[in-house]
Amino acid sequence: MRMASLLLGLVTLALIWVGPLLEAWSGSFAAHMLAHMGVVAIAAPLIAIGISKTIRSVATAAPLLASLVELIVVWGWHAPAARQWAETSTIATILEQTSFLGAGLFLWLTCIAARDSHALARDAAGAFALLLTSVHMTLLGALLSLAPRPLYRLGDVTCFGLVLGAGQDQALGGVIMLMIGAAVYLAGGVFLLARLLGGKTERVAG
């Protein structure tokens, strides 16, 4: 199970970073967002599940710190100047994608690390961290979708063969963040919350 999850996560990364999506995201914000969500909300949790047994000890507050790091990384790279830099510089693209993966792994690993004597407290912190991340991704996705003007480019763009206006492309990117990112982090937070409540019930019964 864990090995399959790790391999699937690595394959997902390969498809994003060396597959056809790599060429598409250079000209489309929506394609970029699909790649971004693939890294932080699909590949990162799959890889984290695959290697979580190797993480034996995690501070209770680590998920909250990781959520803050994720917020800074995600919002920072979606500032117009940073987005333009990442689109025009190979070094910036590498930094962007590496920071996305690093922040995603940091968050998911601290939330689902191997259980120990502090498991209930960490589940509580992890649930809060993932739900907080879902909230800030929902907010960013909504802002991108509802922005009155394009933030990143003007004119038409091509997204997987479809010609879209810059505003439409940006709005589609925001919807992708809402549908994938916010939903996955919400599901993770709800899972940890359910595990937390289940663990408390077992303690009371015991």
Q: Is the pLDDT of residue 26 over 70?
A: no
Output Rg (C-alpha) for the chain, integer angstroms: 18
pLDDT of residue 205: 40
- pLDDT band per the 50, 70, 90 thresholds, residue 201: very low
Asked whether the predicted pLDDT for residue 112 surpasses 90, the reply is no
Distance (Å, rounded) from C-alpha 190 to C-alpha 171? Answer: 27
Domain with 71, as residue range(s), is: 2-205
List pLDDT tens digits, range 136-166: 999 999 999 999 888 887 788 877 777 889 8
The predicted pLDDT at position 47 comes to 95
pTM: 0.87
- The Cα 13–Cα 1 span in angstroms is 18
Looking at the 3D structure of the chain, how many domains does it have? 1
**Residue range 113-135: mean pLDDT, rounded:** 80
Would the pLDDT of 24 be above 70? no
Check residue 203 and give its pLDDT.
Answer: 44
Structure tokens at 186: 């919400």
Q: What is the mean pLDDT of the chain?
A: 85
Q: Percentage of residues in the chain with pLDDT exceeding 70?
A: 87
- Classify each residue of 31-57 as buried b or exposed e, where b means 16 or more C-beta atoms within 10 Å of its C-beta: bbbbbbbbbbbbbbbbbbbbebeeeee
- Beta carbons of 104 and 44 less than 8 angstroms apart: yes
Q: Please tell me the predicted confidence (pLDDT) of residue 115.
A: 59
Task: Answer whether 189's CB lies under 8 Å from 130's CB.
Answer: yes
